[in-house]
A and B are shown apart, each in its own frame.
Chain A
Amino acid sequence: MNGKDNILIEVNGLCKYYNGDKIKALDGVDIDIRSGEVVVIIGPSGSGKSTFLRSLNLLELPTHGHIIFDGVDICDKKVNINLHRQKMGMVFQHFNLFPHKTVLDNMTIAPIKLMKIPKDKAQTYAMELLERVGLADRAANYPSQLSGGQKQRVAIVRALCMKPEVMLFDEPTSALDPEMVGEVLDVMKNLASEGMTMVVVTHEMGFAREVGSRVVFMDGGKIVEQGTPSDIFENPQSPRLKEFLSKVL
């Protein structure tokens, strides 16, 4: 609680330019993300939503602007970003599990090496998380032996092993077969109901409507409209959002 209404991440004037200043992937984004909120970002491809998400933990380096996380401006060059990334879990479209490590080792390598947690403790916690997503029997398997949905569930619990304060999801279901989307969304729903702060870039409008506490519509590197799911889906204001919704719904 830092007085300012539980704001966990405060983004001010975030810009990301490529090719000098010719391509503006992000063009002045301002947003506050509060603890326990599930912010769902939607928008057409090329709207900058993935770039925005990846900027939050500086996988993309913003050209201008500030990101204040836990009261620290992580865009400041003097800040050790690695420490802050430990508190921001990230889930990727293509899972990015480590193929040379078993499921259990995938999950425990960061807690063991970075937080210096004893191996047995880290493994116990990892097994607990695997149990919760129904994959305890897969602990000794390698990622190549899992289905897409299983891989993504492992990727989620791998990030959770670091006990993050916020989880960033970058199109977590886009690379999955349709029948596997549900199992991943269920895990994310449970996570949301446990009060995890989440920022989710997705094309799953059903998920946005059901789980999102706030939906943000981006286009052209800007936030065009934001509000509660019912605001956005039932009562869109801007013509651009109306057009977008008419295509995807």
Chain B
Amino acid sequence: MSSVSAWFNGLWTDITLWFDDFSDDFYTVFIKKDRYEQMLTGLENTLIITLGALLIGVVIGIVVAAIRSSYDKNKESLKLHGGIGSFILSFLNFICKIYLTVIRGTPVVVQLMIAYFLIFVSVKDGVPVGIFAFGINSGAYVAEIFRGGIMSVDNGQFEAGRSLGFNYVQTMWYIVIPQTFKAVLPTLCNEFIALLKETSVAGYVGVMELTKAGNSIAGVTYNYFLPLLTVAAVYLVIVMILSWLVSRLERRLRVSER
């Protein structure tokens, strides 16, 4: 009987000791010298870069996807009719292809460092450069996602729109694009999640984002456990919130499939 209570007493002492250690660590890592503020700044910068890059990425994505799919859909009539419009579209399509190849063929860290150390040498703040670099990078992936969505809509839809008298742009806008949203949304959400996590390399150009904040706290306090797990948990929570929002949106878009 007494051995059991001794075991419990021992366990209790261990737990209290662990809690003492934990609160000490917690104090050093987050409270002392207001280090939690570093984390908050990191979180803020991560979100700013992600959202800014997403915006740029979606805009670039729409433009590039519009050019690429217009070219693909009108290849035949362009060949027949020729003219300056055909030349311009072929040229734009060519530029887009180069953009996609280069951006998707090189690592985002390298692109980021090129942007910071070679292109925007005079800009000392890494955040706008990060938004720019990640935006350009994301645009390439978003463009292919949108283009895939547009091409996945049955050509009969396009023909039905044209046969009613809609022009190319109206057919795209009223008939094809609304149908692509549903198909594109999960992949677009994936891209957003990937982007959020990719911004963790912005530390390479001196941006105090979430990962860098955790890492630098760890470096100063010699405690890697708490800062890194906290950083991981914060990313996880953001991604979970995002996934939840998207799944709700998907459910609302699914109305026409009852």
- A102-117 residues at the B interface, CB under 8 angstroms: 109-110, 113-114
- B158-210 residues at the A interface, CB under 8 angstroms: 159-160, 162-167, 170, 174-175, 178-179
* Bound Cα distance from A145 to B165, whole angstroms: 26
Q: Is A248 an interface residue (CB 8 A)?
A: no
- B76-106 residues at the A interface, CB under 8 angstroms: 76-77, 80-81
A99 — which chain B residues lie within 8 A by C-beta? Answer: 179, 256
**In whole Å, how far is A75's beta carbon from the nearest beta carbon of chain B?**
11
Q: Are B165 and A98 in contact (CB under 8 A)?
A: no
User: If the complex has contacts A77-B81, A82-B167, A100-B256, are A109 and B174 also in contact, measured as CB distance less than 8 A?
Assistant: yes
Q: Mark A145-160, 1 if CB is under 8 A from B, else 0.
A: 1000000000000110
* Bound Cα distance from A197 to B196, whole angstroms: 59
**In whole Å, how far is B81's beta carbon from the nearest beta carbon of chain A?**
6
Count A interface residues, CB 8 Å: 30
Q: Is A233 an interface residue (CB 8 A)?
A: no
Q: Are B76 and A61 in contact (CB under 8 A)?
A: yes
B165 touches which of A85, A94, A144, A158 (Cβ 8 Å): A85
A85 — which chain B residues lie within 8 A by C-beta? Answer: 162-165
B179 — which chain A residues lie within 8 A by C-beta? Answer: 98-100
A61 — which chain B residues lie within 8 A by C-beta? Answer: 76-77, 80
Q: Is A96 an interface residue (CB 8 A)?
A: yes
How many pairs, one residue from A and one from B, have CB atoms within 8 Å of each other in the complex?
72
Minimum CB distance partner of B157 in chain A: A96
B159 touches which of A89, A92, A109, A158 (Cβ 8 Å): A92
* Bound Cα distance from A158 to B160, whole angstroms: 10
B162 — which chain A residues lie within 8 A by C-beta? Answer: 59, 82, 85
* Bound Cα distance from A109 to B160, whole angstroms: 12
Q: Are B166 and A110 in contact (CB under 8 A)?
A: yes
Q: Are A113 and B81 in contact (CB under 8 A)?
A: no
Task: Tell me the interface secondary structure of chain B in the complex.
Answer: helix
* Bound Cα distance from A86 to B164, whole angstroms: 5
Q: Mark A107-138, 1 if CB is under 8 A from B, else 0.
A: 00110011000000000000000000000000
Q: Mark A78-98, 1 if CB is under 8 A from B, else 0.
A: 000011011011101010111
B159 — which chain A residues lie within 8 A by C-beta? Answer: 59, 90, 92, 96
Q: Are B164 and A142 in contact (CB under 8 A)?
A: no
**In whole Å, how far is B255's beta carbon from the nearest beta carbon of chain A?**
8
The 8 closest A-B CB pairs, nearest first, are A86-B165, A96-B160, A90-B163, A96-B156, A110-B164, A85-B165, A142-B256, A82-B167
B-side residues, CB < 8 A to A, are 76-77, 80-81, 154, 156-157, 159-160, 162-167, 170, 174-175, 178-179, 255-258
What are 24 pairs between A and B in contact, CB < 8 Å?
A61-B77, A63-B80, A82-B162, A82-B167, A85-B162, A85-B163, A88-B163, A90-B163, A92-B159, A92-B163, A94-B154, A96-B157, A98-B175, A98-B179, A100-B179, A101-B256, A109-B174, A110-B164, A110-B165, A142-B256, A142-B258, A144-B257, A144-B258, A162-B165
